[in-house]
Amino acid sequence: MSAFISHYTLDHLVQLSQPDSSDIRESTPSLKALAKARSKGYDGICLPLTNEKWKARWRSLCLLPDDENPDKGALEQRAEQWRSNPSFSREEVTITRIDEAENAIILLSDWLELDAPDDWVRHDAEMALIQELAYASYLNVHTAILPPPRNRDHVASYARAVNAALASVPYMQLSIRLPIYDPSMIQLGQTPTTPAFGKRSSTSSILSIPHPSTTLVDDQTSTATWEMWDAIRSICEYHPRLNLTLDLTPLLPSALSILQQWVAEPTRYIFLPASAFIANAKGYPVLPKGTQSFIRDIMKAACGQIQPAVILSGTDSGRHSKGGEPAYSQYVRHLEKTSPAIKAMKTEGTVENFAQGYQDYLQAPLQPLMDNLQSITYHTFEQDPVKYQQYEEAVYHALIDWPDSDRILICVAGAGRGPLVARSLLAIKRANRNAFVYAVEKNKNAFVTLQERQATEWGDDKVKLLFGDMRTLDIPEKVDILVSELLGSFGDNELSPECLDGAMRFLKPDGISIPASYTAYIAPISSSKLYNEAHAAKDEKGTETPYVVMLQAINIMSGDGGGISGKCGAQVQECWEFEHPRRDAVLDSQGLPFTNSHNVRSAKLRFHIPHGGALHGMAGYFEAVLYGHVGLSIHPQRKDYISKDMLSWFPLFFPFKEPLYLPSKCELQVSIWRLTNQRKVWYEWYAEAFLPLPGTSSTLPQTPPSEALKLRVPSSPHPGVEGSPMIDAIDVSDAVSERAFKSLDGIENTGGARLVKIGQTSLHNPRGRSSWIGL
Amino acid sequence: MSAFISHYTLDHLVQLSQPDSSDIRESTPSLKALAKARSKGYDGICLPLTNEKWKARWRSLCLLPDDENPDKGALEQRAEQWRSNPSFSREEVTITRIDEAENAIILLSDWLELDAPDDWVRHDAEMALIQELAYASYLNVHTAILPPPRNRDHVASYARAVNAALASVPYMQLSIRLPIYDPSMIQLGQTPTTPAFGKRSSTSSILSIPHPSTTLVDDQTSTATWEMWDAIRSICEYHPRLNLTLDLTPLLPSALSILQQWVAEPTRYIFLPASAFIANAKGYPVLPKGTQSFIRDIMKAACGQIQPAVILSGTDSGRHSKGGEPAYSQYVRHLEKTSPAIKAMKTEGTVENFAQGYQDYLQAPLQPLMDNLQSITYHTFEQDPVKYQQYEEAVYHALIDWPDSDRILICVAGAGRGPLVARSLLAIKRANRNAFVYAVEKNKNAFVTLQERQATEWGDDKVKLLFGDMRTLDIPEKVDILVSELLGSFGDNELSPECLDGAMRFLKPDGISIPASYTAYIAPISSSKLYNEAHAAKDEKGTETPYVVMLQAINIMSGDGGGISGKCGAQVQECWEFEHPRRDAVLDSQGLPFTNSHNVRSAKLRFHIPHGGALHGMAGYFEAVLYGHVGLSIHPQRKDYISKDMLSWFPLFFPFKEPLYLPSKCELQVSIWRLTNQRKVWYEWYAEAFLPLPGTSSTLPQTPPSEALKLRVPSSPHPGVEGSPMIDAIDVSDAVSERAFKSLDGIENTGGARLVKIGQTSLHNPRGRSSWIGL
């Protein structure tokens, strides 16, 4: 739910303060403004905490007086007196009562330059900031929007002041206001007006900047404001009370993937001036497609969390001929209502609906080998509308392909409460084969359910139940088809390879394993939320083990392409594969492997990072071939073609101890290992970043080397974009696509560049902490 | 003290093992080798742990047999059996007894490729490594030298294995063997022979590589081996049991500043083959100047610590016509004996001698304002042969310059045990002036000493003692000259500015303060030792407060020059300055400042980093103008010209929480703040690294902007190099100077490059932990 809030200038508030009402609740300018805003459909107001009187006093005290000024000494003395006890007088502030603060979003004095080049201006600005925060805290203000950073050179000083500010108030949220990119850095076609975040002219002007007519910027300049944000929150150590107010005043081009980086950040407010709207054919204000899709992306990222509140401004300026003031807020509410993500979340049967409450929530992976699962856990996973259908298909096709015989034997290894037994029986029936099913289960509790189902559903002639661990149990005869569902989010992470090493003793030499193989995939991701969640864990384990997570407010940082070395692979890359039955297995007299060495794996992968950002970890996915063309996949680009709407697995998240800063167009090299000893299996991971050696040529993204994937999907794996539910305007920014945002630097694209290392992470999980203890 | 140790090949040991002695102590090959080595003047031997039989078994098991091999199945089964219980037989190892290990440096099998491209070779090499370490640990081996890394692409796998190895043995030191740079990467004039660290041919060949005739390499390739070391020890989290065996087989050019990076690393052994020696005019083996100076630098860095042991090899090959086998070890011992650093350390009155035991040792800064110092502390500092001489000079010149009068008044603020009082009296006598000294001291214990000196030395007519804190005390009359010694290693870090704010009340409006001003300087440094020391502290304070340290095994990473932006300053840069008396001071009726805001400072500095490395923190220095041209300085390039042999201050070290990886030719931007509130003063610091935006031109070092320094020193601040005490050979490598090592990449040097950020540190000390509580 977005809160629609209008911004009232101080002058307006003062006019409203003329006594014209006897209701004590509306006796102050800000309460009047609130009442007026609510009458127009807004939820609240956003207003500055201070007025021009305070600005004038601060300037007179803190900006150096002329040496010739006869009052110089007196002024400096008054300034020192202010510094020794910084405080307001009543005339300098816009609110004085807690009920005024309750429904207002508070802007601190935006003319305070915490990043001024001048040491003294910075010092006194910080002192004023702390004074304003102390007053706001007194009034119980919940969130204060800080003056925006303006000077990249002194962003460290800005950030240090914000960090001190966070420490100075105990509960308040502080929000850093930033334009989505810096329009002053636009290089072509810029309308020669005041840039949104250059020097401020007046308090009320900040939300009424004409938008630039064209928007050709290169990647570095368009990441400049993001980089300031990253420096600020890094210096504040990802403080949980620090968030972001994104200013959408600069016109957004459509399909600009660089904006994706904002999706992974904690956006609390969105500033949306009337000037960001364009008129549709009927003259009503609508948003350009770029802005529409960006707002929808932000809404999607916040699904299941608190949606950022939109702050509209300038809606009473009559900029658009139709609809009047309410048209703007109505349009934004419409945008929200028709958001595909929000619609999907409200539709039963969708992953989005199923996953509600689990978005970006870290869960320890299941340990079905060590723990006996509860019935409710089985129940949840048996709800999956797709997974068991795929299993049935796989068994059906395996039966069809298997030479017909009197009695085809199937073993379900790890039968749980019996879903695979039931599906195998259905497949047998469909294939019209004469087959018999052994069901092996080591969970003594689930085994009771299996007995019940056999007695009431399956009968003795079709199914035989066997109690025990598939790694040690013996079964009466070898089978033709071995069916198991031991896969985790990363394929092998719930010890499927180790369990099936034992279960392979059940299978005839030419028998079929379902699954036939599974592959682990990773991709580098940025997510403030996941980083904070992993670091909120009290012990070191927080960043030393992977988590199961419904990934939502994340940004996959990699792009397809060869990258600067020409050797980078796809956006999501394969780590390793396990096949069953194993080829070339060396086994002891019991048919078991001597060691677990054959289940060790490692991968060294190269990712092209087109747009700079902070790397917080790796997302892990799997894809399995059950049989032939039937598979299961949570690979983000392939899942919809292989097992659409499957619910059973959220991705894995491999967290990093510290964020790794990645500049645009760098190469990320990731090492990941699956390791084992006599007692356990675990992963370790590590990453390094590279840029081209200065002076060597660099390569723009190339087609990635095609991977030998076992399951075919359409060559263009992106689902078509749905049509907009409202009449879209003819949008000038449409022409400004991602391609127009290419670098203006004229980098030569001949061959791979030599690389220079620029950074690295720690080695993660070197002590082999593991959730998967089984050997 | 270097240990001189020869390397014996296994064959040689086996020959020695023929029974020819009845002494049980010398009955094994390795003990015979030790006895023989000792008879030739060596302290011990370095030998491989395993022999060719082990190598042959490992290869037969672990390298994949031909698919056509009829024994394939049996071999794979034997390999799995080995993996399930990896162990040696007696014939495969060179030592079997703890007395054999006692005096031997042990080389693990150097043919083990922990970084092989093949997953299986890596897996089995790691398994063999752990097996060898387990056996070495059984024999109580103190240090094992590991097989060298050979493959940059898989250095992460190598490092992960080393980290596992460190965890597998409880006490043993592990030493990573590395050539000082990778000779296989030399681009011109390379002798076409086996590179030192390419594929090994045989165990005994590793120390007998002919040195290349020419050595033009670019900076990136010459840092390649250092970069591998950095990756390894970073992945091992700077493990205290991990150190370095530097192989000096590649010929060292003279004056190659890139070698400085090794000085900051924990070198335990130095491999020095006879082939690294050249013949002098008389035919005796001597080292080229480059190698000489490098070894001396390493010795200097290790001063006061354990000196690295030199391992000589090939000394019996008759490579040089004169001197025979002992000539090599004699030469190295000579090098040590004549090392200027070691000589200085043994000479009384030098800083090196004074500082013995304090090298790279972290001390909390003194807090003379909060604590009353002990007499022994005053005693130590009063020993300084230079500091009080400078004070006497300053007072003398101030008196000479002061208009003669009946009675010039001097106040010593913070008199301690009286050294400045005594020096002031000497200056008064020399200047032949009529002057009187007030001595203010707040340490009640030291005040007793002052009374004693007044009674026995000074008398009442020249000196009046006043007890109390200079910030609150009133004195009988205002004085002409105020003398204080409140400076810390960073100038202002012992609260001199705050104390003198109070003491300025004692001074006439046109009076003289000695010191007149002081300036804080910083430089970025690399030092494994300091990083480890700061992190050894149990609480977080370890990396949140600066330390006083006699910096020794460090590398200043910055160079003079404009750097890539063209805006970088000098190697060591000024942060800020304090002047006394303050100009434009605004004071209250007591003559005190209203707030401490005027003592807030900040600096944002840009450093050019010519050669890549790991940044571990900032070194802090000060320089003070006492009066006129008389000063005190610990600025590394200026101290010898301003106050040579002054002992009283070691530099400050501002530690970093995590090392910041800096590639060659990057720009480091450092922010540092001096902050204050009502109760305390503290520093915060932060750094960011930048490279040129790919595709933009970059600038090679330019002359730094000249600083307006108050004390003049000669324009070339580097002391002349002392002559070598032995006859040096005509050294071909002399011609290969630092300049020849310039980049081969042909970077254009036109104007400053646009920068791209590549990394950052945390903000340090944001909670304002401070050693200096005073306000």
pLDDT in tens, B115-153: 999 999 999 999 999 999 999 999 999 999 999 999 989
- Partner residue facing B595 (CB), from A83, A122, A584: A83
Q: For residue B643, what are the contacts with CB-CB under 8 A and spacing of at least 6?
A: B386, B387, B390, B631, B632, B633
Kindly tell me if the per-residue pLDDT of A165 is higher than 50. Answer: yes
Which chain B residue's Cα is nearest to A604? Answer: B154
Cα A256 from Cα A738, distance rounded (Å): 5
CB pairs under 8 A between A and B: 193
- In angstroms, the Cα distances linking B710 to B391, B394, B517, B583 are 17, 15, 9, 17
What's residue A210's pLDDT? 34
pLDDT in tens, A368-399: 877 888 898 899 889 898 999 999 999 999 99
Choice between B483 and B187, residue whose per-residue pLDDT is larger: B483
Distance separating the N- and C-terminal Cα atoms of chain A: 49
> What average pLDDT does range A498-524 have in this prediction?
96
Cis omega (within 30 of 0) on the bond before A515? yes
Of the candidate ranges A217-226, A591-600, A742-751, B267-276, the one whose mean pLDDT is the lowest: A742-751
Per residue in A543-586, pLDDT tens? 888 999 999 889 999 998 788 888 999 999 999 999 999 987 88
**Do residue B694 and residue A753 have CB atoms under 8 angstroms apart?**
yes
Q: How confident is the model at residue A718 (pLDDT cuts 50, 70, 90)?
A: very low
Q: Say if the Cβ atoms of A753 and B154 lie within 8 Å.
A: no
**Residues A251/A288, Cβ–Cβ less than 8 Å:** yes
Question: What are A118-143's pLDDT values in tens digits?
Answer: 999 999 999 999 999 999 999 999 99
The Cα A14–Cα B515 span in angstroms is: 56
For B586, which residue in chain A has the nearest alpha carbon? A77
Q: B346-387: per-residue pLDDT in tens?
A: 888 777 888 888 888 888 887 787 788 889 889 988 989 899
Lowest-pLDDT choice from A98-102, A178-182, B48-52: A178-182
Residue B372 touches chain A, beta carbons under 8 Å: no
| B77 vs A contacts (CB less than 8 Å) | 586, 594
Q: For B694, which of A231, A698, A757 is closest by C-beta distance? A: A698
Spell out which residues of chain A touch residue B696, defining contact as CB-CB under 8 Å: 745
Which residues make Cβ contacts (< 8 Å) with residue B389, sequence separation at least 6? Answer: none
Are B723 and B772 spatial neighbours (Cβ–Cβ below 8 Å)? no
Put simply, the answer to whether A760 touches B231 (Cβ < 8 Å) is: yes
Considering only residues A490 and A729, tell me which one the structure prediction assigns the higher pLDDT: A490
Residue A222: per-residue pLDDT? 61
Distance from CA of A124 to the nearest CA of B (A): 9
The Cα–Cα gap between A169 and A162 comes to 11
Q: In chain B, positions 599-658, which contact chain A (CB-CB < 8 Å)?
A: 600-602, 604, 612, 658
Q: Backbone phi, then psi, for B655, in 5-degree steps?
A: -75, 155
The percentage of residues in chain B with a pLDDT greater than 90, rounded to a whole number, is 51
The answer to whether A677 contacts chain B (CB < 8 Å) is no
Contacts of B576 (CB under 8 A, 6+ apart): B519, B520, B601, B602, B603, B674
- Residue B80 pLDDT more than 70? yes
Distance CA A580, CA A625 (A): 10
Q: Which residue of A has its CA nearest to B675?
A: A123
| Token representation of residue A452 | 């019940």
**Residue A164 pLDDT:** 95
Of A123, A129, A529, the C-alpha closest to A359 is: A529
The verdict on B56 touching A (C-beta cutoff 8 Å) is: no
Find, in chain B, the residue whose alpha carbon is nearest to that of A152: B757
Q: Could you tell me which residue, A19 or A413, shows the higher pLDDT?
A: A413
Structure tokens at B433: 């002036």
Is B494 part of the annotated catalytic residue set? yes
Q: Are B573 and B605 in contact (CB under 8 A)?
A: yes
Confidence of residue B204 (pLDDT cuts 50, 70, 90): very low
- Chain B's closest residue to A754, CA to CA, is B220
Q: Is A228 exposed, middle or buried (0-12, 13-18, 19+ CB in 10 A)?
A: buried
* Closest-CA distance of chain A to residue B484, Å: 27
- Residue in chain B nearest A662 by alpha carbon: B758
Query: Could you write out the three-class secondary structure of A732-760?
Result: HHHHCCHHHHCCCCCCCCCCCCCEEEEEE
- Give me the pLDDT at residue B2, please: 36
Active-site choice (A494, A574, A667, A684): A494
What b-and-e string marks burial along B79-91, b requiring 16 or more CB atoms within 10 Å of the CB? bbebbeebebeee
Among candidate residues B282, B275, B283, B271, the one with its CA nearest the CA of residue B310: B271
CA distance B589 to chain A (A): 11
Structure ipTM: 0.86
CB of A583 within 8 Å of any CB in chain B? no
Distance spanning both ends of chain B, measured CA to CA: 49
Q: How many angstroms from the chain centroid is the CA of residue B106?
A: 27
Residue where the block lists tokens 């009968």: A459
* A285: nearest Cα among A226, A216, A227, A331: A331
CA separation for the pair A157, A175 (Å, rounded): 17
Cβ-Cβ contacts under 8 Å, B159 against chain A:
763
Q: For A693, which of B73, B80, B745 is closest by C-beta distance?
A: B745
Within 8 A of B746 by CB-CB distance, chain A residues are 695
Say which DSSP state A3 is in: P
Interchain contact B692–A (C-beta under 8 A): yes
Which token pair is A735? Answer: 């022409």
A756 → closest Cβ in B81, B663, B757: B663
CB distance A237–B743 less than 8 Å?
Answer: no
Q: How far is B80 from chain A (nearest CA, A)?
A: 6
Q: Which distant-in-sequence residues (6+ apart) come within 8 Å of B751 by Cβ?
A: B566, B697, B699
Q: Residue A391 in contact with residue A423, Cβ under 8 Å? A: yes
B25 to chain A, any CB pair closer than 8 A? The answer is: no
Closest residue of A to B753, CA-based?
A694
Three-state DSSP at A146 gives strand
Q: Are A752 and A565 in contact (CB under 8 A)?
A: yes
Interface test with A, best of B64, B80, B682, B744 (most A CBs within 10 A): B80
Partner A, chain B 161-220, Cβ-Cβ below 8 Å: 163-164, 167, 220
- Residues 84-123 of chain B with CB under 8 A from chain A are 84, 119, 122-123
Q: Please give the residue of chain B at the shortest CA–CA distance from A155.
A: B671
Contact criterion met (CB < 8 Å) for A77 and B160? no
A153 Cβ under 8 Å from any chain B Cβ = yes
What residue has token string 């915060």? B684
- Cα–Cα distance, A676 to A682 (Å, whole number): 6
Contacts of residue B344, defined as CB under 8 A and 6 or more positions apart, other chains included, come to B350, B351, B352, B353
Q: B658-714 pLDDT, tens per residue? A: 999 999 889 999 999 999 987 899 999 999 999 987 666 554 445 544 555 678 776
Residue of A70, A61, A28, A62 whose CA lies nearest to A45: A28
Restricting to B residues 320-359, those with a Cβ less than 8 Å away from any Cβ of A are: none
- Tell me the nearest-neighbour CA distance from A134 into chain B, angstroms: 16
Question: Closest-CA residue in chain B for A162?
Answer: B766
A760 shares contact with chain B (CB less than 8 Å): yes
Question: Is A73 close to B586, i.e. CB distance below 8 A?
Answer: yes
Query: Looking at residue A351, what is its pLDDT?
Result: 78
Look at residue A600 and tell me whether its pLDDT is greater than 50: yes
Predicted confidence at residue A695, as pLDDT, reads 64
Q: Which residues on B lie below 8 Å from A693 (Cβ)?
A: 220, 745
Contact A626, A582 (CB under 8 A): no
Catalytic status, residue A485: yes
- Per-residue pLDDT of A303-355, as tens digits, reads 777 788 899 988 888 888 888 888 888 899 898 888 888 888 888 877 788 88
Residues of B in contact with A167 (CB under 8 A): 766-767
Say whether B745 and A73 touch across the interface (CB within 8 A). no
- Phi, psi (5° rounding) for residue A615? -85, 120
Backbone angles phi, psi at A2, to 5 degrees: -80, 145
Helices (H) and strands (E) counted in chain B, each on its own, are 21, 27
Highest mean pLDDT among A95-109, B517-531, B585-599: B517-531
- Weakest-pLDDT range from B344-348, B577-581, B721-725: B721-725
Contact A479/A514 with Cβ under 8 angstroms?
A: no
Residues facing A687 on adjacent strands:
A670
* Distance, CA of A709 to CA of A577 (rounded, Å): 11
pLDDT at A159: 96
Q: B113, B126, B227, B485: which one is catalytic?
A: B485
Shortest Cα–Cα distance, B86 to chain A (Å): 11
Of A172-181, A708-717, B8-17, B571-580, the poorest mean pLDDT is in: B8-17
Q: How far apart are CA A599 and CA A494, in angstroms?
A: 13
Most confident of A185-199, A244-258, A344-358, B639-653: B639-653
Contacts B84 to A, Cβ<8 Å: 594-595
Q: Which amino acid is at A437?
A: V
* Residue B167, amino acid: A
**Spacing of C-alpha A742 from chain mean position:** 24
Please return the burial class of B464, using the count of CB atoms within 10 Å of its CB with bins 0-12, 13-18 and 19+: middle
